[in-house]
Structure 1
Amino acid sequence: MAAISMLFLFTFSSALWVLHASAELQTFAHPSKHDGSLSFLVLGDWGRRGAYNQSQVAFQMGKVGEKLDIDFVVSAGDNFYDNGLVDDHDAAFEESFTNIYTAKSLQKQWYSVLGNHDYRGNAVAQLSPLLRKIDTRWLCLRSFIVNTELAEIFFVDTTPFVREYFTETNGHKYDWRGILPQKSYITNLLKDLELALRESSAKWKIVVGHHAIRSVGHHGDTQELVTQLLPILRENNVDFYMNGHDHCLEHISDTESPIGFLTSGAGSKAWRGYTQGLNRKGLNFFYDGQGFMSVQLTQTDANIEFYDVSGNVLHRLTASKQLHSSL
């Protein structure tokens, strides 16, 4: 593994976090529970100052988070609508995040990626350490890794992959600071991700991005990710790809590998009335409404559940691994 150039210690939410700053993706160590298990919630497309049932989803997240004793929350992007944050003093940060996710169980680290709506504002502001001073739960970077030993979660900045954001902006202005030239940015990101996945010894490998690889929702498949990202995930035995972007809940099985494609982009505005593609091969579950997802992992089992805005379990999937590999 590449040599680590620097080591920083950060204190977030009364826990000690170790950040390895290397030539590759930054890695944050987040310990699993004492029994070796891990649990977390996944939410995307949420920041609307409580509107469009965001507050109701947050309430149910608090209840499920307490029941599962979650270790952290994963945010799959489009964190602040409609156009991200203006700057790192934007009141929308507290009005859409701090003041909404108030349950005791949600006072854990939030690991977040950027979505396309975040890039329409001041994308760099969401990466600012100043936001962590306002709310210590917040940690948002472009691409990074959370290592729990049991699982490694690889967060990928997917918005720069999508060509139309550069060619057909529809009047929107995207904040491409730190991204250009686009081709070099993507090439380097994929190289770093492939290296990290190949070297990972975690029992579970999970990749998180904003855009879907496979979806029957409004936006559908993201062809750039199908072409450039999916082959890397297949080659490196990734278990799940989790995303937002489509405002729905989905579970689609890959037809060529064991990867499960899981969409949790229903944190606020949903109900788009989309009904096409529901006979798609590999589709296990689709719900066109608000909600979120929970993930529970042990050495041998993964249990993932999708909840609606009332806290009802709509769909459950399980996956198992052998405790020891065959010789």
Structure 2
Amino acid sequence: MGVIAETVRPDFILSLGDNFYSSGVQTVDDIRFRETFEKVFTHPLLSVPWYIIAGNHDHRGNVQAQIDYTQASKRWYFPDFNYVKAVSLPDGTAELTMVFIDTVLLCGITDMYFPGQAPINAEDEELADEIWSWLEAQLQQSRSEYLLVVGHYPVLSVGYHGTTLCLVQRLRPLLFQYNVSAYLAGHDHNLQHFTDSKGPNSVEHFVIGAGALLNTNRRNNHSVPVGSLKYFWPGGDSADSTSSDRTGGFAYAIMDNQRLNITLVDGRGKDLHQVTVASRNVDPQR
């Protein structure tokens, strides 16, 4: 990440949940903040704002402690379970709005005794409905050139955990309705890209969960729309890599006033797959 940062000079970094395995943290003074975050991401160019969202493993601990850590760190930014962050190009010609959602509050937590099982339903349905209403209001009012929704559970995934039915039913229609540029998720431990199309509309989906663990399982191929999967990377090159070569991966994005380029990379910084997302104010037929 540091090597990539020397080239792209990031303005901020996104963490897509499951920040602390396997049971989150307990207090704002938890040693894991230092041992798993501050002492790991030490390259000077990674000392930029980190926008955080919680995952199911974080919910096994105290998510409020992670939110409170925002006040103790110069770069950890996690103001609430759900929040919005907008950033603009220096010349003001394009804006990116990111809507961060807590998919555990929306859809429930995965069963720790059946780790491959998808979440069943929200623990607090009334709270979940409030979040859904809040989310739709944020999407409806956005006039940004790029609009991202960021969560932990994927809408679409062919991996071990697979597609999240709750998000297919409630989130997927909103992504189409409000012309969302892309949805970013983690949860499954690999890199995936989908183009989800409905009539003339399409939304790019990314699973970027290869930062700490890797899983080659594709048992949920049947759970995604036919033809939607554009890229799947389980770590390494299946033809010639050994387990020691499987270094994990992440993604970086570069934005201008006409396009947002999202590139999936392996742990050594090799570009694997690039997707260009047009500005919502640019005619895609042009």
Calculate the TM-score normalised by the size of structure 1: 0.73
**Structure 1 residue 278: Cα displacement:** 5.4
Question: Which of 104, 116, 119 is residue 56 of structure 2 equivalent to?
Answer: 116
The letter for the 1-side match of 2:204 is: G
Question: Which of 189, 212, 222 is residue 247 of structure 1 equivalent to?
Answer: 189
Question: Which of 26, 38, 45 is residue 105 of structure 1 equivalent to?
Answer: 45
Compared CA separation, residues 325 and 260, structure 1 to 2 (3 A): closer
Could you tell me how far apart the structure 2 residues matched to 1:322 and 1:228 are?
22
Whether 1:227 aligns to 2:169 is: yes
Could you tell me how far apart the structure 2 residues matched to 1:194 and 1:251 are?
24
Could you tell me how far apart the structure 2 residues matched to 1:171 and 1:302 are?
38
Q: Structure 1: which 5+ residue stretches go unaligned? A: 1-60, 173-179
The letter for the 2-side match of 1:76 is: L
**Which residue of structure 1 aligns with residue 212 of structure 2?**
268
Conservation of the 8 A alpha-carbon contact between 2:108 and 2:123: no
* Greater Cα shift, 62-71 or 205-214: 62-71
Conservation of the 8 A alpha-carbon contact between 2:56 and 2:104: yes
**Structure 1 residue 325: Cα displacement:** 6.7
- Count of aligned pairs between the two proteins: 254
State the percentage of identical aligned residues: 31
Instruction: Could you list the structure 1 runs, at least 4 aligned residues long, displaced by more than 4 angstroms after superposition.
Output: 277-280, 322-326
Compared CA separation, residues 84 and 181, structure 1 to 2 (3 A): closer
* Greater Cα shift, 276-285 or 91-100: 276-285
1:79-228 to structure 2, matched below 5 A, reads 79-128=19-68, 131-140=69-78, 141-149=80-88, 150-163=95-108, 165=110, 168=111, 170=113, 182-228=124-170
- Is the partner of 1:127 in helix, strand or coil? helix
Conservation of the 8 A alpha-carbon contact between 1:299 and 1:323: no
Q: Structure 2: which 5+ residue stretches go unaligned? A: 89-94, 116-121, 236-247
Compared CA separation, residues 315 and 121, structure 1 to 2 (3 A): same
Question: Which of 254, 263, 267 is residue 309 of structure 1 equivalent to?
Answer: 267
Could you tell me how far apart the structure 1 residues matched to 2:107 and 2:8 are?
36
Could you tell me how far apart the structure 2 residues matched to 1:82 and 1:286 are?
25
Could you tell me how far apart the structure 2 residues matched to 1:134 and 1:144 are?
19
Higher relative contact order (CA 8 A, sep 6+): 1
Could you tell me how far apart the structure 2 residues matched to 1:268 and 1:181 are?
28
Conservation of the 8 A alpha-carbon contact between 2:145 and 2:281: no
* Greater Cα shift, 88-97 or 275-284: 275-284
Conservation of the 8 A alpha-carbon contact between 1:254 and 1:260: yes
